[in-house]
Amino acid sequence: MKKLFLSDFDGTLVNKDILDVLCGINGKEEESKRLNEEFIAGKREGLPTLKQRIDFLKGITTAQIKAKLDVKNYLIAGAIELFAYLKASGYITVLHSGNILPVLEYYQGLLDID
What predicted TM-score, i.e. pTM, was given to this entire model? 0.90
pLDDT for the residue numbered 90: 96
- Could you tell me if 21 and 10 lie in one domain? no
Which three-class secondary structure state does DSSP give residue 26?
helix
In contact, 18 and 99? CB cutoff 8 Å: yes
Asked whether the predicted pLDDT for residue 98 surpasses 90, the reply is no
Residue type, 113: I
Task: Give the model's pLDDT for residue 1.
Answer: 85
Q: Are strands 3-8 and 91-96 parallel, antiparallel or unpaired?
A: parallel
Query: What's the pLDDT tens digit per position in 50-92?
Result: 999 999 999 999 999 999 999 999 999 999 999 999 999 999 9
- Looking up residue 65, the CATH number of its domain turns out to be 1.10.150
Residue span of the structural domain in which 1 resides: 1-16+74-114
Mean pLDDT for 101-107 is: 96
